[in-house]
Amino acid sequence: MSETIYVVIDHTNGEIRNASWETLVLGQRMAAQSGFELHALILGDDPGPVAEQVGRKQLDSVIAVADPKLRSYEPDSHCAALSQVLAEDAPHILLMAHIYQNIDLAPKLAAAIGTGLLTDCIDYRWEGGGFTFVRQVFRNKIDAEIRIRSRHPWLVTVQSGAFNSDDLEDGSAPPASRVVDLASVQVRRESLETIEGMKGGVDLTKADIIVGVGRGIKKEENLQLIHDLAEALGAEIGASRPVVDNGWLERERQIGSSGQNVQPKLYVACGISGAIQHIVGMKGAQCIVAINSDPNAPIFNIANYGIVGDLLEIAPVLTRKIRELKS
């Protein structure tokens, strides 16, 4: 019997989540290296069209799980459906994207089937016939290699951006399906309304230059330094979440997984540590400058240029030099 790797492909309104494509890249690599089979799982009330798209990638099959109760996400039905499929098919590993829906679902599924879950994985190793995984710990400052100790299927969620969906191998995978019985599932969570919280006048996605400000600015009064720098550069101001939570800047200036996704030519990160939830929103910038007093701040790992020092001292000098340059 050959071992199998399953990948859940998530979609909203028929559109496949990019993070799921990235997760499939990891699945393809793990399968190629181990010789395990690779199958995709697609849940929904009508998963056919999504399954068809996934079928054009290199996999052993694309398994559709259709049920009216899987129309939109809610943990009880989704957990029950996946538990049933996993019990029947007994894969070695189930991979999912580390998106908010799976932050909600994966731990419940792991508890329900009693197996190990490793979240937010960024890499894997295949050694001596077994997989281990790499994830970041201690505020993204340290990488840990971790072994899951449990029965199979192991559950692994994959960090957005850890793999590149451009690296997907094309192919042709036969369609398959599984029937689940959700009649007895008691749905306890009722979805009420969905609201958009970031409507506003600012559109950071069109800005060429963005000055990003983080908790390192320390006080609201100090924000003037950032306004000055942004004005000198002709830049928009973006922010990390804590700055927005403090009410110092408008919500629509938040950059990151729960905020805007920006791709300016230049991003100047001022007093931002570089948490993954921030980085996913700005790593597409052509050039990243980081100003941070901590030489080990993870933001330096993705920056092109860095200055280690006190933002309150450096920002005004930078503002002055830019003004000199422009006059």
Partner 1 sequence: MKIVTCLKDVPGRDTRYQIGSGQNWINESDVTWEINECDEYALEEALKLKESLGGEVTLLTLGPQRSEKAMRKGLAMGADRGVHVVDTASRVLSPYPVAKALAAALEKEEFDLILAGTQSDDFSYAQTGVVLADLLGLPHATIVMEVAVDSDAKTVRVLREMESGWFQWVRLPLPAVLTIQAGISKVRYPSLKGIMQARRKEIRQINLEELGLDWEHMPSLEILSLAFPETDSKVEILEGPPETAVDALVDKLRREAKVL
Ligand X SMILES: Cc1cc2nc3c(=O)[nH]c(=O)nc-3n(C[C@H](O)[C@H](O)[C@H](O)COP(=O)(O)OP(=O)(O)OC[C@H]3O[C@@H](n4cnc5c(N)ncnc54)[C@H](O)[C@@H]3O)c2cc1C
Binding partner of residue 166 among partner 1, ligand X, none, CB cut-off 5 to 8 Å per kind:
none
Binding partner of residue 266 among ligand X, partner 1, none, CB cut-off 5 to 8 Å per kind:
partner 1
Helix (H/G/I), strand (E/B), else coil: 283: coil
Residues that bind ligand X in the complex, under the rule CB under 6 A? 214-216, 240-242, 254-259, 271-273, 275, 277-278, 281, 291-294, 297, 310-312
Q: How far is the CB of 216 from partner 1 (least distance, A)?
A: 11
8-state DSSP, 189: P
Nearest CB to partner 1, comparing residues 166 and 190: 190
Q: How far is the CB of 183 from partner 1 (least distance, A)?
A: 19
Integer Cα distance of 23 and 7 in angstroms: 7
Nearest CB to partner 1, comparing residues 171 and 305: 305
- CA 40-23-129 angle, 5° bins: 85
Nearest CB to partner 1, comparing residues 4 and 240: 240
Q: How far is the CB of 63 from partner 1 (least distance, A)?
A: 24
Burial of 23 (0-12, 13-18, 19+ CB in 10 A): buried
Nearest CB to ligand X, comparing residues 181 and 245: 245
Integer Cα distance of 322 and 327 in angstroms: 9
Q: How far is the CB of 287 from partner 1 (least distance, A)?
A: 4
Nearest CB to ligand X, comparing residues 39 and 98: 98
Residue 286: its H or E element: none
Determine contact, residues 18/165, Cβ cutoff 8 Å. Answer: yes
Binding partner of residue 43 among partner 1, ligand X, none, CB cut-off 5 to 8 Å per kind:
none
Integer Cα distance of 285 and 272 in angstroms: 15
Binding partner of residue 292 among ligand X, partner 1, none, CB cut-off 5 to 8 Å per kind:
ligand X
Integer Cα distance of 20 and 96 in angstroms: 7
Q: How far is the CB of 246 from ligand X (least distance, A)?
A: 10
Integer Cα distance of 318 and 327 in angstroms: 14
Q: How far is the CB of 18 from partner 1 (least distance, A)?
A: 11
Buried b / exposed e along 206-245 (16+ C-beta atoms within 10 A): ebebbbbbbebbeeeebbebbebbbebbebbbbbbbbbbe
Binding partner of residue 137 among ligand X, partner 1, none, CB cut-off 5 to 8 Å per kind:
partner 1
